[in-house]
Amino acid sequence: TMDALQDPRRREATVARLIDDARRDVFLRSDAGKDVRAGTESEERSGVRADHPVPTAPFYGTRTLRDIPLDEVFELLDVDELYRLQWGARGSGAAFDRLVHDEFAPTLERIKARARREEWLRPQAVYGYFPAQSRGNAVTVYAPEDFTRHGTARELARFTYPRQDGRDRLCLADYFRSVDSGDMDVVALQIVTVGDAASREFDRLQHAGEYTEAYYLHGLAVETAEAVAEWLHRRIRHELGVPGGRGKRYSWGYGACPDLEDHELVFKLLPAERELGMQLTSAFQLMPEQSTAAIIVHHPQAKYYAVRGEGAGAA
């Protein structure tokens, strides 16, 4: 395929064939795929309650965290996801247990020790609290300074989310107080990263032909970024004074909020470029790669869901 794409005489026909194959592929036609706005445009709200107390934000605006303790982050690693999703383990039972005991667990401890010693995993984050309200399928985020100083609501950004077809008709906007309620809600946004040193170390290992070590390192870096996101989510729960386990963290690219273009709005609200040196690609992906962005929903009924189909959304 790559040979054909690089051949000027074959490229056009190859691209046309690949697009045609993709359109026929049942998986790529799925309405729950990334970057697909699925669900109805109807703004008929779900049955999500709107009578819970709105938590008090500890501050409005943004903060930067540059020295998140790596060992605290490591304690939150989803080791099963690391082994299975990132490092490719399969099966279960005795064979899986032997693989973990003989190879994966020692490798994990060795690479964690390297990361501590060589400092190529550097957990950092920007996050913030903003006054917010919903209208239909959209969440409007207001300027913190106008709200705190003058009690006024000046719009900074608006996120529009798909509404679930049938079933519970869920939409992320339903988890926030509506404009018509007269109540001001609070939304938290976060961007976390482990920095670009991990990517540079990965490239060095690749060029040196140390492919297995590079593979292990890359998987750990990705899962460490997810652990940083969980670390910060727990901090936000604590600062809002909501119980552990209440609320959810939704990242763009999944069913409940599929539009990666919304990363532009998040970068407008959180100074990730200035504070962390992060960037967005032309496809709205976060750079460095080992980074995540999320909207934090504090509502007690918040859950993960698919906009269409029976699968579950993801954090």
The CA-to-CA distance between both ends of the chain, in Å, stands at 34
pTM score = 0.84
CA–CA dist 313, 306 (Å, integer): 5
| 193-212: pLDDT as tens digits | 999 999 999 999 999 999 99
| 48-93: pLDDT as tens digits | 999 999 999 999 999 999 999 999 999 999 999 999 999 999 888 9
Residue 27 has pLDDT above 70, yes or no: no
The pLDDT value recorded for residue 309 is 53
The pLDDT value recorded for residue 40 is 66
Sign of the Cα torsion 142, 143, 146, 147 reads positive
CA–CA dist 239, 11 (Å, integer): 55
The pLDDT value recorded for residue 3 is 85
| 210-266: pLDDT as tens digits | 999 999 999 999 999 999 999 999 999 999 999 988 999 999 998 899 999 999 999
The pLDDT value recorded for residue 32 is 39
Please provide the average confidence, as pLDDT, over all residues in the chain: 91
The pLDDT value recorded for residue 30 is 43
Q: SS3 for the chain, per residue?
A: CHHHHHCCCCHHHHHHHHHHHHHHCCCCCCCCCCCCCCCECCCCCCCCCCCCCCCCCCCCEEEEECCCCHHHHHCCCCHHHHHHHHCCCCCCHHHHHHHHHHHHHHHHHHHHHHHHHHCCCCCEEEEEEEEEEEECCEEEEECHHHHHHHCCCCEEEEEECCECCCCCCCCHHHHCCEHHHCCCEEEEEEEEECCCHHHHHHHHHHHCCCHHHHHHHHHHHHHHHHHHHHHHHHHHHHHHCCCCCCCEEECECECCECCHHHHHHHHHHCCHHHHHCCEECCCCCEECCCEEEEEEECCCCCCCCCCCCCCCCCC
The pLDDT value recorded for residue 20 is 82
CA–CA dist 172, 161 (Å, integer): 6
| 244-258: pLDDT as tens digits | 889 999 999 988 999
The pLDDT value recorded for residue 6 is 87
The pLDDT value recorded for residue 312 is 42
In the DSSP assignment, the letter for residue 55 is P
Q: Which residues of 168-187 are buried (b: 16+ CB within 10 A; e: fewer)?
A: ebbbbbbbbbbeeeeebbbb
The contacts of residue 112 (CB under 8 Å, 6+ apart) are 74, 220
The pLDDT value recorded for residue 167 is 76
By the 8 A CB rule, do 251 and 294 touch?
yes
In the DSSP assignment, the letter for residue 252 is B
Tell me what the mean pLDDT of segment 263-274 comes to: 98
